[in-house]
Structure 1
Amino acid sequence: MTDLLWPGDHHAGDVFTDAAVADAMIRVEAAWSTALTEAGVAPADALVDPAALRALIGDGDLDRIAIEAESGGNPVIPLVKLLRSGLGESATAQWLHRGLTSQDVVDTALMCCSATAFAEIGGELTAQIRILGRYADRFRATPMVARTLTQYAVPMTFGLKAAQWLSGVLDASELLAGVRFPLQIGGAAGTSAALLELAGPGRDPARLYRAATEVAARELGLEAVPPWHSVRTAICRVGDASVACTDAWGHIANDVLTLSRPEIAEVGEGAGGSSSTMPHKSNPVLSVLIRRAALTGPPLASTLHLAAADAVDERTPGAWHAEWDTLRQLVRRTLVAARQTTRLLDKLQIHEDRMASRLQAAGQAVTSEQKSMAGIAGLPPAADYLGATQHLIDAQLERARKVIGDRS
């Protein structure tokens, strides 16, 4: 998948493409057939595996499904029709999708696609934590000017700045790691009445529901939970974790954009972008594109929360439908930004000499607070004014070691 208007979209690969969503929906149908047969609801010859169902979808069928989805408002209806047609008069065709509703398939497929993306984003976060940990330690004593509200403030070190970047990435990583990807199966209105009806009399409802959903969750690598069809927390959590990532990366990108200005030049991108008309330029393109993701992520997550707040009845008209492409855009763009941020950090040029010269040139602009504090205390100014810098760096490095340790 590529997108002319979102440069770098190819870095998300096949994640959350139309093909990936269709494949996830097919996996849901196959997992449910396994659940029905293992629970003793459907006969053994009703079982079908995902590969057999995928083989029924040919070139051009995705376009056909997308077009036909308009009549029913979702892609599951034409997908199931096409699959049943391909299965003919078999028991598999008769039992396919029985006990499910369209929302079960769409919601569960969204969770499958999100889980795949988050596994890749998590890998990028781990790489970023390692890089930033090295920077924080290596440059812990490299002096530079701290700036507040765009103006000189006090001395700091580049190691502390890297530790602050690291703190944001660690926050995002912890939030991402806590996201749950639940199965959503409840039938037409969240009661799973069809499942019990298919099973016939004498089956314990709770035991049957648990048995069937646990099998489906196992097959898909998701968490078995009660139906959440009208409570959209699962979707919002994916959106919130995505934005936490782009927030952290946006902070890094903004600092790089500022510090790479020619008049500052304390850092630089390893391979800047060119200009169509000005050969001398080396634009900080990665930082620009990462900042783009940070600016556009929150409105997408806001749409997810608006949809959740607009929930009504047992399936929300319009708001539920608004989630699908919104979530896809947000998650894909987050994965793109994840990979761009790792590249940015890995190749970042750090100009220690320029940092030192800017600090020296700042003169009294960065010593005024220290002199004021020393005067109040009646003491001579200390040799440096870095406060608890080393402790603050070590605190983030310790957090990083714990996160890396958990993932190694």
Structure 2
Amino acid sequence: MADLFWPGDERAGLHFTSAAFLRAMVAVESDWVGRELEVPDALDEISAEAESGGNPVIPLVRHLREQGTDVHRGLTSQDVVDSALMRMAGAAVADLRRDLARVVGGLADLASAHRETPMVARTLTQHAVPTTFGFRVAAWLTAVLDADEDLARLAFPAQLGGAAGTRAAMVELGRAVPDDVPRWHTTRSAVTRVGDALAGTTDACARIANDVLVMSRPEIGELAEGSGGGSSTMPNKANPTLSVLVRRAALTSPQLAATLHLAAVQQVDDRADGGWHAEWATLRDLVRRTLVAASQTADLVAGLVVHAERMAATLAAAGDDVLAEQRSMAAAAGHAPAPSYLGDAAAYVDQVVARAHRHLEEKP
């Protein structure tokens, strides 16, 4: 889907488009009546008519009934919209996790390859102590693994509550609903959990992008994107474009997730007046932006160029200052400083890489 306001949006494919939303709502109605319904070729008309009733289900039902099927009896509009949103979210998260698997695999390989590559650690922007690039990558990998595990724990429940959650119409019609099908008209944790997991994913992607942006500065020069972007006026530039775009997503995702929580706070009575409506486009933007960011991060990791010689040179230029802590610790322990001051960095890299391999093996 072309979007000049969000370069790269096409990476999200057809997820959470208006057409996908229409198909998902028709699928919900199809399940309810027990037969496959034809998706009306009236997207623009349904969209224009949605304003009068405040949601797209009302005009959709009219179009579906024109097919000769008595759809929707016992349901309410929120049942259809919520169930459709969860269907779309489940499909999007499945694709998102496929991209994260690419990120995990790439980072595991990178961490193993640079397990012993020396560099200087930086804390509060300043040189700290010696570390390895593999250790830095293991930190990136840990964040991605944590985010993917949060995504794996998500549930995408259908919504079947009827007009006010009591299922009165369903009971009147003799439609039994299994006890394990929830009714969550005003309990929005299903939505906020999805939002939090998506924002956590962009957090993890930004953890990588932020370091690439800093470490690819010419005066540092320790990393570079494999295919940097150009400039409209300076042909000599190779900008870290993927990192910039991933960071962009991460800067906007928390506010979208916060809007979902604000909508949850605004729930009132037995169905909300506006809080529910605020979720739809918010969730759409959050899903699509996260999909784009994960895809871009996978490409970023796959093409990342590591300048190990520059890392070693920077560490050497830092001189004895980076070993000041070692000297004081050795003095406190009553022995001479050891030849290396890397602690258990290598063991940590091995541990995280092993976790990544288990994670990939267990993934469906």
TM-score range, shorter chain: over 0.9
2:331 aligned with 1:356, yes or no? no
* Mapped partners of 2:220, 2:182: distance in 1: 56
Partner amino acid, structure 2, of 1:16: F
**Equivalent residue, structure 2, for 1:209:** 177
Cα offset, 1:396, TM superposition: 0.9
CA deviations on 1:356-402 (whole Å, 9 max, x unpaired) are 11111111231111112112222211101000111111221222122
TM-score w.r.t. length of structure 1: 0.88
**Equivalent residue, structure 2, for 1:160:** 135
**Equivalent residue, structure 2, for 1:247:** 203
TM-score w.r.t. length of structure 2: 0.98
Residue 301 of structure 2, aligned match among 322, 326, 345? 345
Q: Where in structure 2 are the equivalents of 1:116-265 lying within 5 Å? A: 116-199=91-174, 208-210=176-178, 225-265=181-221
* Mapped partners of 2:281, 2:28: distance in 1: 19
CA deviations on 1:298-336 (whole Å, 9 max, x unpaired) are 000000001111111111101110000000000110000
* Mapped partners of 2:357, 2:63: distance in 1: 51
Cα-Cα RMSD? 1.1
* Mapped partners of 1:65, 1:236: distance in 2: 28
Name the SS of the counterpart of 1:320 in structure 2. coil
> Which is greater in Rg?
1
Cα offset, 1:67, TM superposition: 1.2
Q: Structure 1: state its 5+ residue gaps.
A: 35-47, 200-204, 214-223
Residue 36 of structure 2, aligned match among 27, 49, 70? 49
* Mapped partners of 1:344, 1:361: distance in 2: 29
* Mapped partners of 1:238, 1:225: distance in 2: 18
Residue 346 of structure 2, aligned match among 377, 386, 390? 390
Q: Structure 2: state its 5+ residue gaps.
A: none
**Equivalent residue, structure 2, for 1:68:** 49
**Equivalent residue, structure 1, for 2:326:** 370
CA deviations on 1:56-99 (whole Å, 9 max, x unpaired) are x22xx2111111111000000011111212x1xx3x2xx20111
* Mapped partners of 1:122, 1:158: distance in 2: 25
CA deviations on 1:36-72 (whole Å, 9 max, x unpaired) are xxxxxxxxxxxx314xx22xx22xx211111111100
Deviates more, 1:187-196 or 1:235-244: 187-196
* Mapped partners of 2:182, 2:253: distance in 1: 29
**Equivalent residue, structure 2, for 1:22:** 22
**Equivalent residue, structure 2, for 1:217:** none
**Equivalent residue, structure 2, for 1:31:** 31
2:284 aligned with 1:328, yes or no? yes
Residue 60 of structure 2, aligned match among 69, 76, 79? 79
Name the SS of the counterpart of 1:319 in structure 2. coil
Cα offset, 1:169, TM superposition: 0.3
Partner amino acid, structure 2, of 1:394: D
**Equivalent residue, structure 2, for 1:7:** 7
* Mapped partners of 1:365, 1:77: distance in 2: 70
* Mapped partners of 1:378, 1:209: distance in 2: 72
Cα offset, 1:197, TM superposition: 1.0
